[in-house]
């Protein structure tokens, strides 16, 4: 069971890398971590917990990174708002020009790999964070 969870997390990380075509692993790691953290902060606490329960342990650690029980909800009405939340964490790694594309790559592949999280999060997030998906709902359409 744990091997399949680790493989699932590795496939997601690989999908993000393929979407961004980025080779700097430290940057990619920070984009994944900070994007998930900012996504989580945009959701009500009950939804945060439900999404966490769907994730393999290594991705759950990213999702819960920095979480505190009294964390307040920071609504995310636009993709630009999410990018502005992520930017301070990653600006030292890369130019601002690509951060929006990379944040979208993280969010869209996240919801493609864990589709059960999408209906939980969708009412609270901008539609473009979910991307267009195939009929099977497995991979975003590029």
Domain holding 117: CATH number?
1.10.490.110
Q: Indicate the number of domains in the chain.
A: 1
112 domain-assigned: yes
Q: Hey, is 66 helix, strand or coil?
A: coil
Distance, CA of 90 to CA of 24 (rounded, Å)? 12
Q: What is the pLDDT of residue 137?
A: 38
- What's the pLDDT tens digit per position in 81-134? 999 999 888 877 665 547 888 899 999 999 999 999 999 999 999 988 887 543
Helices 25-41 and 99-113, interaxial angle, to 10°? 70
CA distances from 97 to 73, 76, 100 (A): 27, 20, 7
Helices 2-20 and 57-64, interaxial angle, to 10°? 60
Task: From 68, 5, 62, select the one nearest 37 (Cα to Cα).
Answer: 62
- What's the pLDDT tens digit per position in 30-86? 899 999 999 999 999 999 999 999 999 889 988 998 888 788 999 888 999 999 999
Range of the domain at 29: 2-129
135 domain-assigned: no
Distance, CA of 113 to CA of 64 (rounded, Å)? 18
Answer whether residue 21 shows pLDDT above 80.
Answer: no
93 domain-assigned: yes
């Amino acid at each position: 069971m744990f091997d399949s969870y680790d493989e699932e997390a590795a496939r997601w990380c690989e999908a993000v890398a393929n979407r961004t075509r980025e080779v700097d692993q430290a940057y990619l790691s920070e984009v994944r971590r900070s994007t998930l953290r900012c996504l989580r902060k945009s959701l009500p606490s009950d939804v945060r917990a439900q999404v966490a329960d769907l994730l393999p342990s290594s991705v759950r650690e990213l999702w819960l990174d920095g979480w505190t029980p009294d964390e307040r909800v920071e609504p995310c009405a636009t993709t630009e708002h999410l990018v502005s939340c992520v930017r301070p964490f990653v600006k030292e790694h890369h130019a601002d020009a690509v951060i929006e594309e990379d944040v979208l790559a993280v969010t869209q592949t996240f919801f493609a790999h864990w589709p059960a999280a999408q209906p939980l999060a969708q009412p609270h997030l901008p539609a473009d964070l979910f991307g267009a998906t195939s009929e099977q709902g497995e991979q975003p359409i590029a």
